[in-house]
Chains A and B, each alone.
Chain A
Amino acid sequence: EAGVAQSPRYKIIEKRQSVAFWCNPISGHATLYWYQQILGQGPKLLIQFQNNGVVDDSQLPKDRFSAERLKGVDSTLKIQPAKLEDSAVYLCASSLVSSPIYEQYFGPGTRLTVT
């Protein structure tokens, strides 16, 4: 079974530029998550999708971050404009359904450096 795919793996941009990350979840997984992990901290949930609908985006800085999951499969996370404090690893995860009895599968992450 193929895992969660993310691209790019690394990205370096200057502040005020824009950047987009892509995620392809495990086939058949209805729930998709984006997390932000700042160095030395645990991952923090940014947004959760159930199919192509948003379930929870309470932690997403909506003035600069946006995410979409068209057709309920792939997802993109965009930052525009980027700030220095956005430097982090952005992790995508998926699970079969949104339930605490189902595990989440994480991708390798995209490491973003904002200079």
Chain B
Amino acid sequence: DAKTTQPNSMESNEEEPVHLPCNHSTISGTDYIHWYRQLPSQGPEYVIHGLTSNVNNRMASLAIAEDRKSSTLILHRATLRDAAVYYCISTGANNLFFGTGTRLTVIP
């Protein structure tokens, strides 16, 4: 499984878009890119995942670079409820190896 690198923290104003970056330069061709988030005092929650193409769901969008060495999670309009630690995980199995993630602070 490829190691991922994320900024330790980011801030966003409420109702503005947020772009959370992730580097996974050693990703293999069959590794998926997963994003989970963890709200305070809760277990992690699935956000989105993809392989090669950009993905959209009701929570977020995932933009994957053409060489797959990086990706960006996009929250289109941040709300206070989006304040959480966001984990980017690259894996070819269903084992998730969490790093320390990016702590997102949403400013009212």
Contact = CB atoms under 8 A, between A and B. Distances in A.
A43 B96 CA distance: 9
A104 B99 contact: no
B54 to A, nearest CB: 16
A44 B99 CA distance: 9
Given A106-B44, A106-B45, A41 B100 contact: yes
Interface string A78-115: 00000000000001010101111111111111000000
Interface stretch (B14-22, B63-71, B75-83, B86-94): B86-94
Main secondary structure of the interface of A (DSSP, over half): loop
B32 A44 contact: no
B94 A102 contact: yes
B94 A99 contact: yes
Interface residues of B, number: 23
B95 A91 contact: no
- For B42, B44, B92, B97, the residue with the greatest tally of chain A CB atoms inside 10 Å of its CB is B44
A102 B95 CA distance: 11
B94 A100 contact: yes
A108 B43 contact: yes
A14 interface: no
A48 interface: yes
B92 A100 contact: yes
Nearest to A40: B100
A43 B92 CA distance: 18
Interface in A42-70: 42-45, 48, 56
A44 B98 contact: yes
B93 to A, nearest CB: 6
A30 to B, nearest CB: 11
Interface of B: 31-32, 34, 36, 42-46, 49, 85, 87, 91-101
Given A42-B100, A43-B44, A43-B96, 13 more contacts: A40-B100, A42-B99, A42-B101, A43-B98, A45-B97, A48-B95, A100-B34, A100-B93, A102-B94, A104-B46, A106-B43, A108-B43, A109-B43
